[in-house]
Structure 1
């Protein structure tokens, strides 16, 4: 699974969090200039969706008795899909929390 988009998004979130905390950010792994946050987020969601669809297809194929799928590979694919979904939910929770923090700031 390619996690480049998720890594970029997490790097941007860490840099933003460090900047609002009043301390200097660690050097981000990807340059901030030219990176469209919305595009990174959209790509990450599409990647999670693709991982889940692939895992569901493997599980359906295994349940139908297809000999090309084995239980080990199906279980690994399902766990990868589950972990990637949980990671996406945690990133969403952090984004919502950051949004609420910004909205509650007094100017």
Structure 2
């Protein structure tokens, strides 16, 4: 299974997140986090759509799409989706922890 593209995307996001944080305020960090999260979700959606499209093309007999390409695309989409689920779970846990803090 080849995950080079996904890994490079994650490293690019990490670099963007570390380079764009201001030192004085937290407002830009929050805006960047929301933007970064939105981009990540759109990226996962794009991987799933691409995988579905590739599978449909393979099912219809497109000679330009091999079974290996379909399986790689599906695995990339699956890994990206599972990572998104884990991020969501961590965010929900953090939210619950904040809500349970005494005021």
TM-score by length of 2: 0.77
Q: Give secondary structure in 1 for the equivalent of 2:64.
A: coil
Q: Which has the higher contact order (CA 8 A, sep 6+)?
A: 2
Over the aligned positions, Cα root-mean-square deviation in angstroms equals 1.9
Unaligned runs of 5+ in 1: 12-28
Q: In the alignment, which residue of structure 1 is the partner of 2:46?
A: 50
**How many residues get paired?**
88
| 1:31-46 paired onto structure 2 within 5 Å | 31-33=20-22, 34-35=28-29, 36-46=32-42
Unaligned runs of 5+ in 2: 23-27
Q: 1:25-65 CA deviation, whole Å, 9 max, x = no partner? A: xxxx4453244111011000000000110111100000000
Q: In the alignment, which residue of structure 2 is the partner of 1:105?
A: 101
| 1:2-13 paired onto structure 2 within 5 Å | 2-3=9-10, 4-5=12-13, 7=14
